[in-house]
Structure 1
Amino acid sequence: MTETREREGAAVAAKLSTLDRFLPVWIGAAMLAGLAAGRWVPGLGPALNAVRLDGISLPIALGLLVMMYPVLAKVRYDRLEAVTGDKRLMVSSLVLNWILGPALMFALAWIFLPDLPEYRTGLIIVGLARCIAMVIIWNDLACGDREAAAVLVALNSVFQVVAFAGLGWFYLSVLPGWLGLPTVGIEASPWQIAKSVLIFLGIPLVAGYLTRRFGERAKGREWYESRFLPRIGPVALYGLLFTIVILFALQGEQITARPVDVARIALPLLAYFAVMWAGSFALGKAIGLGYERSATLSFTAAGNNFELAIAVAIATFGVTSGQALAGVVGPLIEVPVLVALVYVSLAARRWFTEPDSAPEGGIGR
């Protein structure tokens, strides 16, 4: 059984498209392209900031919306009850995502960055932006429960719209005051933060829901999932790469001028991913979820919505702020770490004894 599962894990990796297999390479190339453009193209920064949407450069705003739409179009919104009946999964996910995750990032930000308040604030915002996009990709690659991932992502999407602003106020202003730590004066009101969430999460969420509803009504689910979704799936990654190029073009001077700061931002992120993923995976096994749902629980708990965090940081503090830079560093760390954890997860399948019926992975599926 163990050998069979290991072979299946290797087969999944072998079936990945070139885009899937070399995703870290494309991310790195996008970063380098952005840095080069910001350094060598005169007047690029002012041109990118000339037109804004809710205080954010229009190219960045479009990139964020394009990146999130295809993933949310994959959600099976009519299958919510199939997973919500698993109280162990639902309760564990809510606790991990909305209590432990933000609290852990808050603690790590203060431990690693006590003297860098802008970066610390940026990381706390990252901790509040729970998984809704790339996590579905990691879950597919790890042969997790695709339906459970879709439900948890949909749940986080709705909860994020409702809770993000309040949690931001609590972790940036209230809790530090209780602990005798410096508080952050947020220029944007909770409604301004909520407005950014509604724009950059609500719009693609509604678009994804309507696309699935009318697409299935017109052509049927088989056509929608086997023909339509594979066509739009890679668009999410193209949007991500485009957004990274623009962000790094705008942040290039800060990144090249402060490599030590970038390294310091990376350290708490590495600790966060390791603790959240390993703890969630172990919890899933301990409460008897089985491999597929344990993998889904761990990736949805460890993953963060850097697109949303970057959007909120830019809208609140500005595109060249330290808070935005902390969000930009996020994908640099998340992609290689979670790709590595996919292989760790596949290797850990031998710890489970339930029959294996995981779907094949891949962005285009």
Structure 2
Amino acid sequence: MTTNSEKKHNKLAIGIWEKYLSLWVGLSMIAGILIGYFLPGVPIALEGMTFYNVSIPTSILLWIMIFPMFLKIDFFSVVGALKKPKGIALTSFINYAIKPFTMFAIAAFFFYVVFNQWVSSELAGEYIAGAVLLGAAPCTAMVFVWSKLTNGDPAYTLVQVSVNDILILLLYVPIVSLLLGVTDIDVPMETLVLSLVLFIVAPLVAAIFTRNVVVNKKGKEYFENTFIGKFDGYTNLGLILTLIIIFTTQGQPIIENPLHILLIAVPLIIQNILIYVIGYGGSKACRLPYNIAAPAAMVGTSNFFELAVAVSISMFGLDSGATLVTVVGVLIEVPMMLLLVKFSNKTKHWFDGYEY
């Protein structure tokens, strides 16, 4: 049995961990870059551990992050979320009617106009293509992490992401074709379907099964007050290890292309901030409660980078400028999203009194 002093110690440890999360993130990024650059065999090994473009180690870590959140979801709350479509409609509209087009416009302005003395017109076209591939692919898995860090409604986040995945299947190719003027886009459907199964269907089924077993054996009070608490801290640990893996595989291009990494990062960061402002502001205008508003803003702000990277490689090649942009999108996403999570949590009082 856990004593009161142990509980106090655990609470303090978790508090310190979360308080200095930005520091741990920075250290893990540096560690990953150094590992990738000085131990090139490690990223080669990690890149070999993929199945239909989805990293197996990263998938395991994402499961560690997502599963505790799914444990909190009651099936009946999912049904209830479907009856409240305002937040889902807002997210979907931003993701597919606004985000890809603002990404195209911002990228074209910076690479053709602002950065034209450092980037050739041919390379600028590749960079814009990579930006579009990112902009047309809203996030799938990591949204659950951002939702947890902002105390989002897990059931509603699940519905938002599920609808988003369906729309990706229908709209990704038409939007990319329209913006890039190409028709022979080879979208790896295996990657899409596998991501849907891995990051939504499987953890949800496992969580529902676990919830039912524990509640039936020890009661709902034990499940909500004790069992779920056993998973505290796993989200942050999974996030740190995921970052180390991501930056390990991208350490060499970061060190070898510092200027272009910075140039690419500028429009991507501006795009992220713009979409977040539209989503967060739109949620306030719709009078959505904070636990729905924050995740709604996060869905469009972050990207389904596994899909973007896979499509870019198949269309333009591993060493193309387009693929480099999708990789930089991975690099800036987590630090950027953590800043937006922090901002959201500090401004949640803006949504006081809103009910849904």
Q: What TM-score bracket applies, with the shorter chain setting the length?
A: 0.7 to 0.9
Partner of 2:296: 300
Partner of 1:334: 337
CA distance in 1, matches of 2:233, 2:132: 28
CA distance in 2, matches of 1:92, 1:158: 14
Give structure 1 regions of 4+ aligned residues with deviation exceeding 6 angstroms. none
Amino acid at match of 2:162: V
How far did residue 223 of structure 1 move? Answer: 2.2
TM-score by length of 2: 0.75
Q: Which of these residues, 112, 134, 144, is aligned with residue 133 of structure 1? A: 144
Q: Say whether the 8 Å CA contact 2:104–2:179 is kept in structure 1.
A: no
Residue pairs, 1:2-21, within 5 angstroms? 17-21=15-19
CA distance in 2, matches of 1:87, 1:199: 24
Partner of 2:241: 242
Q: Secondary structure at the match of 1:91?
A: helix
How far did residue 155 of structure 1 move? Answer: 1.1
Partner of 2:222: 223
Q: Say whether the 8 Å CA contact 2:29–2:247 is kept in structure 1.
A: yes
Partner of 1:309: 304
Whether 1:45 and 2:12 are equivalent positions in the alignment is no
Whether 1:348 and 2:344 are equivalent positions in the alignment is no
Whether 1:60 and 2:58 are equivalent positions in the alignment is yes
CA-atom RMSD in angstroms: 3.4
CA distance in 2, matches of 1:126, 1:68: 23
Partner of 2:155: 151
Amino acid at match of 1:330: E
How far did residue 347 of structure 1 move? Answer: 5.7
CA distance in 1, matches of 2:21, 2:78: 30
Q: Say whether the 8 Å CA contact 1:73–1:212 is kept in structure 2.
A: yes
1:139 to 1:100, Cα distance in 2 relative to 1, 3 A: farther
Q: Secondary structure at the match of 1:133?
A: helix
Q: Secondary structure at the match of 1:192?
A: helix
1:249 to 1:263, Cα distance in 2 relative to 1, 3 A: same
CA distance in 2, matches of 1:324, 1:184: 23
CA distance in 2, matches of 1:165, 1:236: 28
What percent identity do the matched residue pairs reach? 19
Whether 1:79 and 2:82 are equivalent positions in the alignment is no
Query: In the TM superposition, what whole-angstrom CA distance separates every residue of 1:16-35 from its partner, at most 9, and x where no partner exists?
Result: 71222222111111111101
Query: In the TM superposition, what whole-angstrom CA distance separates every residue of 1:279-318 from its partner, at most 9, and x where no partner exists?
Result: 33433443444xxx15632442234585x72332454456
TM-score by length of 1: 0.74
1:117 to 1:84, Cα distance in 2 relative to 1, 3 A: same
Q: Say whether the 8 Å CA contact 2:150–2:295 is kept in structure 1.
A: yes
Residue pairs, 1:95-134, within 5 angstroms? 95-113=93-111, 115=124, 117=126, 120-121=129-130, 124-125=133-134, 128-130=137-139, 132-134=143-145
Q: Secondary structure at the match of 2:150?
A: helix
Deviates most, 100-109 or 233-242? 100-109
Residue pairs, 1:192-211, within 5 angstroms? 192-202=190-200, 203-211=202-210
Q: Say whether the 8 Å CA contact 2:111–2:128 is kept in structure 1.
A: yes
Query: In the TM superposition, what whole-angstrom CA distance separates every residue of 1:123-182 from its partner, at most 9, and x where no partner exists?
Result: 643552236312323422xxxxx4xx32331112322332223332122223432xxxxx
CA distance in 1, matches of 2:40, 2:272: 38
How far did residue 97 of structure 1 move? Answer: 4.2
Q: Say whether the 8 Å CA contact 2:95–2:138 is kept in structure 1.
A: no
How far did residue 251 of structure 1 move? Answer: 0.5
Residue pairs, 1:264-303, within 5 angstroms? 264-289=263-288, 293-294=289-290, 296-303=292-299
Q: Secondary structure at the match of 1:201?
A: helix
Deviates most, 296-305 or 330-339? 296-305
1:278 to 1:187, Cα distance in 2 relative to 1, 3 A: closer
CA distance in 1, matches of 2:63, 2:257: 29
CA distance in 2, matches of 1:216, 1:195: 31
Partner of 2:328: 325
Amino acid at match of 1:208: A
Amino acid at match of 1:133: F
1:214 to 1:235, Cα distance in 2 relative to 1, 3 A: same
Q: How many residues align?
A: 322
Amino acid at match of 2:335: L
How far did residue 73 of structure 1 move? Answer: 2.9
Q: Secondary structure at the match of 2:233?
A: helix
How far did residue 252 of structure 1 move? Answer: 0.2
1:119 to 1:85, Cα distance in 2 relative to 1, 3 A: same
Amino acid at match of 1:302: M
How far did residue 67 of structure 1 move? Answer: 3.1
> Unmatched 5+ residue regions in structure 1?
1-13, 141-145, 178-182, 358-365
> Unmatched 5+ residue regions in structure 2?
1-11, 113-123
